[in-house]
Homo-oligomer: A and B are copies of this chain.
Amino acid sequence: MSYFRDNIDAMTGYVPGEQPQAGKFIKLNTNENPYPASAAATQAIATVLQTGLSRYPDPMAEAFRRRAAELHRVAPEWILCGNGSDDLLTVVTRAMVGEGGLIRAPYPSYVLYRHLADIQGAQFEEIPYRPDWSLDDSFADANDNLRLVLLPNPNSPSGTFSSPERIGAIASRLSCPLLVDEAYVDFADEDCVPLVTQHENVVVTRSLSKSYALAGLRFGYVIAQPHLISGLTKVKDSYNCDSLSIAAATAAIDDQSWRADNRRSILATRDRLTASLRDLGFEVPDSHANFVWATHGAASAKSLYEELKDRRILVRYMNFDRWGEGLRITVGSDDQVDACLSMLKTLLK
């Protein structure tokens, strides 16, 4: 007899993007920011080290909540912090979806969502995007068993964006919570935080991994109405964020001029990467994130991925059943992107 639940035995684990711990790679596979984080974040960590780490952290990370609340023009009771936004996706599914409950997500999107459903012993329904990566109307269809709808916006792997108007209309039709996963939204032009005040079923998650260059820190947060935050608080681990990450994250979001400058650099490189890939014959939907999704009518994405990897350039190869394969390429520094482009040019000759 297995000691694990049947749903755990039946599932395969989520495989995160390759994180080579040795050797030098040009790493364009997991959407990390190519630039160092705000110096304020590092300084905040040094300050914590002076008082030491022997005490437990603030369970609710109030310093961060207050600062994030100002940034988003809500009250601190609308914010909940997590050990990366993955922690918060986990907390939301555990709080809202029991065994046999239904989770809906668009397809193709963030591969982790299915695993979260599997761990809960929940059902998982994928609504395919239309060919132009817009949301199908059936995404908002009623279903008695539906407990949670997950929508990454911008979406991964496509980098495409659904307008807040469109998402608000979907939230109105749904009778369950709609979680808008805004891990990449700082690279877009709009966001869904205003929907949170208008719709009591909208939950927005944010990450400091990408737009604040702090993937190594593990920090994210939820923005939602207080009735939702208080239920989620019951489910999170009591000390889910450590003292160093709370201090660094608070300092990082306090440095909005760093974020604006960084965003400007990434967007300029993204434009250039997109245009160059199109010149090489790739189809690339307009990206609102810090990566692009590139498919090629003639060349095999798998082969390109492998050839690049042999030359120590890592991009993300993804193959979606009933949809097709492609390369998800992070917007790195100009040098990194140039190295990738010039290698692709050689390979496609």
A contact residues vs B (CB 8 Å cutoff): 1-9, 11-14, 16-17, 19, 21, 27, 30, 32-37, 41-42, 45-46, 48-49, 52-59, 62, 83-84, 86-87, 90, 94-99, 101, 112, 115, 119, 121, 147, 175-177, 201, 209, 213-218, 228, 231, 233-235, 237-245, 248
Given A86-B237, A238-B86, A245-B242, are A216 and B96 neighbors across the interface (CB < 8 Å)?
no
**A34–B55 alpha-carbon span in the complex (Å):** 9
Closest residue of chain B to A89 (Cβ to Cβ) is B237
**In the complex the two chains form, is B217's CB within 8 Å of A56's CB?**
no
**In the complex the two chains form, is A99's CB within 8 Å of B96's CB?**
no
Closest residue of chain B to A100 (Cβ to Cβ) is B99
- From residue A34, how far is it (CB to closest CB) to chain B in Å? 7
Residue from the list B240, B243, B248 in contact with A217, Cβ < 8 A: B243
**In the complex the two chains form, is A3's CB within 8 Å of B97's CB?**
no
Among A115, A238, A240: residue with most chain B CB under 10 A: A238
**A237–B240 alpha-carbon span in the complex (Å):** 12
**In the complex the two chains form, is A238's CB within 8 Å of B97's CB?**
no
Can you name 12 A-B pairs with beta carbons within 8 Å?
A3-B228, A3-B231, A4-B95, A5-B96, A16-B59, A30-B56, A52-B216, A53-B214, A54-B215, A55-B215, A86-B237, A217-B243
**A177–B4 alpha-carbon span in the complex (Å):** 10
**In the complex the two chains form, is B228's CB within 8 Å of A242's CB?**
no
Residue from the list B1, B34, B97, B239 in contact with A175, Cβ < 8 A: B1
**In the complex the two chains form, is B59's CB within 8 Å of A213's CB?**
no
Q: 7 tightest CB-CB pairs across the interface, nearest first?
A: A216-B243, A53-B216, A13-B234, A16-B238, A54-B213, A218-B242, A56-B215
